[in-house]
């Protein structure tokens, strides 16, 4: 472990944060490969199972804004341990679900825990390490967590095929207990003397997130285009309303002067734009392998697993890459490469071997790891101490909204191609291929966001040797 052996908090804190991220990543990847089996057992269409994913992501986005306030008021230690307990409890409820409605409600409970778990853990990390140590600490915290996507598709596939889908949620119980045990011993308890909570701002911002997410979900499930556009417009009006509110409020939940920091502004926008494409792939690829190619959950798990293996390798090189090329050049080039790789997933035909996806997905995992570390660290590079809690919370909200939007976008595009028989001739596989082309193009275009960075941005984050 590359941190001081004399400071037990610095020694174990990255591992504690990794525990929470590990559960979230394991949970999401297990669910992705298991959706067809769960849908069959609950007598639902696999494509309707998006509610089980989007409800969780939406809950994260809705309640993450309060994470900074709760941590400042009650302490990072109490909130983090409580969030782990709620997440584990929600996992048990998911395993006991008898229909889709119960599963969605249980996923919301999981989301309540997850909404505090990772942002509070990351906040403790930011407050514990100096800027020149922070990238190494965050990178180290994510490396163990990348085991989740390796185990998720494989363990999920085998559990579904040889046990039952209920075990994909119960596996969170021992992991969560380990996290609670470590937190009781080593999680620091940071609090703030100045504690204010902008309740009105929170309600406005939460309403905007909810409306936008509902509009995206309805767009893929209904023919009522006018209603969808109305809800979507209302969501953006709520964002504008929050802007007006924040200008008049002394201490809004997300201060507007956060966006005067260029690196934070670009980091937030870049996270949102690039994750629109990236976030849909862990769902779309297993679905295509199982639905279009007729393969089992285990096979789809083996196809997706290399993404996490190469991501771990990417984490070992990201610091050297950023130190050499800088954030601006790295993020622009990396985003273009990711977009091209996503489009390449649409190249293999229905008669091609599914193992053609392995090298593509493996290379994609490497560049994804560079992307996430770079985007997350540049966003907090120039934040002042007084903005740490609110900036970290907004970054977490933005990431989860982007994941939800990305999943919804991928499924919307897929359904549009499926319903347009003039383009696909009724071929589900062709609909998937065109979806990958579209999502890849969106990702390539998103790379231009990082042109707003200066060449010297992020120099203060360079690792300490």
Give 88-129 as a DSSP string: HHHHHHHHT--SHHHHHHHHHHHHHHHHHHHHHHHHHHHHHS
Could you give the CA distance from residue 32 to residue 36 in angstroms, rounded to a whole number? 9
Contact, 273 vs 327, CB < 8 A?
A: no
The predicted model scores a pTM of: 0.78
Closest CA to 128 of 81, 77, 55: 77
Domain boundaries, the chain: 8-197+253-461, 198-252
Closest CA to 371 of 294, 275, 285, 438: 275
Angle among Cα 459, 321, 25 to the nearest 5 degrees reads 100
- Supply the pLDDT for residue 60: 77
Could you give the CA distance from residue 113 to residue 122 in angstroms, rounded to a whole number? 15
pLDDT in tens, the chain (465 residues): 444 545 777 778 888 888 888 887 777 667 766 777 788 888 877 767 777 877 887 787 778 888 888 888 888 999 999 999 999 999 999 988 888 888 989 999 998 998 899 889 888 888 888 777 777 777 777 766 666 666 666 777 677 777 778 888 888 899 899 889 999 988 988 887 767 788 898 899 888 877 877 776 676 555 667 888 888 899 889 999 999 999 988 888 888 888 888 888 999 999 889 988 888 887 788 888 888 888 877 787 788 778 878 888 888 788 889 888 889 999 999 999 999 999 999 988 888 888 888 999 999 989 988 998 888 888 887 887 777 778 888 888 787 778 777 877 888 888 888 877 777 777 888 889 999 999 999 999 999 999 998 888 877 666 654
Closest CA to 127 of 64, 188, 195, 194: 188
Could you give the CA distance from residue 321 to residue 318 in angstroms, rounded to a whole number? 5
User: In which residue are the tokens 């302490």 written?
Assistant: 75
**Three-class SS state of 50:** helix
Could you give the CA distance from residue 365 to residue 342 in angstroms, rounded to a whole number? 11
* Backbone region of residue 43 per phi and psi (left: phi > 0; alpha: psi in -120 to 50; beta: other values): left
- How many CB atoms lie under 10 A from the CB of residue 14? 25
Domain formed by 8-197+253-461, architecture = Up-down Bundle (1.20)
- Supply the pLDDT for residue 148: 65
Contact, 89 vs 109, CB < 8 A?
A: yes
Contact, 297 vs 35, CB < 8 A?
A: no
Question: Which own/partner pairs from 437-440 qualify as long-range (CB within 8 Å, at least 24 positions apart)?
Answer: 437/343, 437/346, 438/413, 439/276, 439/277, 439/280, 439/281, 439/284, 439/342, 439/343, 439/409, 439/410, 439/413, 440/277, 440/339, 440/340, 440/341, 440/342, 440/343, 440/344, 440/345, 440/346
Q: Give φ, ψ of 353 to 5 degrees.
A: -70, 135
Cα distances from 374 to residues 106, 308, 328, 330, 436, in angstroms, run 33, 17, 10, 8, 24
CA dihedral of residues 241, 451, 334, 278 (deg, nearest 10)? 20
- Supply the pLDDT for residue 219: 63
User: In which residue are the tokens 């990417």 written?
Assistant: 314
- Supply the pLDDT for residue 67: 85
Residues 6+ apart with CB under 8 A from 386: none
Closest CA to 118 of 434, 392, 421: 392
């Amino acid at each position: 472990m590359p941190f001081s052996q004399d400071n037990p908090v610095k020694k174990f804190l990255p591992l504690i944060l990794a525990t929470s991220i590990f559960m979230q990543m394991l949970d999401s990847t297990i669910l992705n490969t298991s959706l067809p089996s769960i849908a069959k057992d609950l007598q639902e269409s696999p494509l309707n199972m998006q509610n089980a994913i989007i409800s969780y992501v939406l809950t994260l986005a809705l309640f993450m804004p309060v994470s900074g306030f709760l941590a400042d008021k009650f302490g990072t230690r109490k909130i983090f341990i409580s969030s782990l307990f709620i997440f584990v409890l929600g996992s048990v409820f998911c395993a006991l679900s008898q229909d889709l409605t119960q599963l969605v409600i249980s996923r919301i409970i999981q989301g309540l825990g997850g909404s505090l778990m990772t942002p509070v853990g990351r906040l403790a990390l930011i407050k514990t390490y100096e800027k020149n140590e922070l990238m190494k600490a965050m990178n180290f915290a994510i490396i163990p967590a990348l085991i989740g996507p390796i185990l998720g598709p494989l363990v999920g596939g085998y559990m579904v095929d040889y046990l039952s889908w209920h075990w994909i949620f119960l596996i969170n119980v021992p992991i969560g207990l380990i996290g609670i045990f470590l937190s009781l011993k080593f999680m620091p308890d940071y609090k703030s003397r100045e504690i204010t909570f902008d309740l009105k701002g929170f309600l406005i911002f939460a309403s905007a997130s909810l409306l936008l997410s509902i509009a995206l979900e309805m767009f893929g499930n209904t023919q009522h285009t006018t209603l969808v556009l109305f809800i979507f417009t209302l969501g953006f009006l709520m964002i504008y309303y929050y802007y007006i509110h924040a200008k008049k409020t002394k201490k809004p939940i997300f201060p507007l002067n956060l966006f005067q920091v260029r690196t934070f502004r670009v980091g937030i926008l870049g996270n949102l734009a690039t994750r629109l494409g990236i976030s849909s792939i862990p769902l779309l690829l297993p679905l295509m392998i199982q639905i279009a190619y007729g393969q089992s959950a285990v096979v789809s798990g083996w196809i997706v697993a290399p993404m996490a293996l190469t991501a771990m390798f990417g984490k070992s090189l990201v610091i050297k890459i950023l130190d050499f090329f800088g954030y601006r050049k790295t993020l622009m080039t990396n985003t273009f490469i990711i977009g091209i790789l996503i489009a390449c997933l649409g190249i293999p035909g229905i008669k091609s071997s599914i193992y053609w996806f392995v090298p593509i997905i493996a290379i994609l995992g490497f560049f994804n790891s560079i992307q996430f570390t770079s985007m997350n660290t540049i966003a907090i590079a120039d934040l002042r101490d007084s903005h740490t809690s609110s900036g970290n919370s907004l970054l977490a909200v933005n990431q989860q909204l982007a994941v939800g939007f990305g999943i919804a976008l991928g499924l919307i595009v897929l359904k549009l191609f499926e319903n347009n028989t003039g383009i696909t001739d009724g071929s589900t596989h062709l609909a998937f291929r065109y979806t990958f082309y579209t999502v890849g193009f969106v990702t390539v275009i998103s790379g231009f966001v990082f042109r707003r960075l200066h060449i010297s941005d992020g120099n203060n984050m360079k690792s300490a040797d």
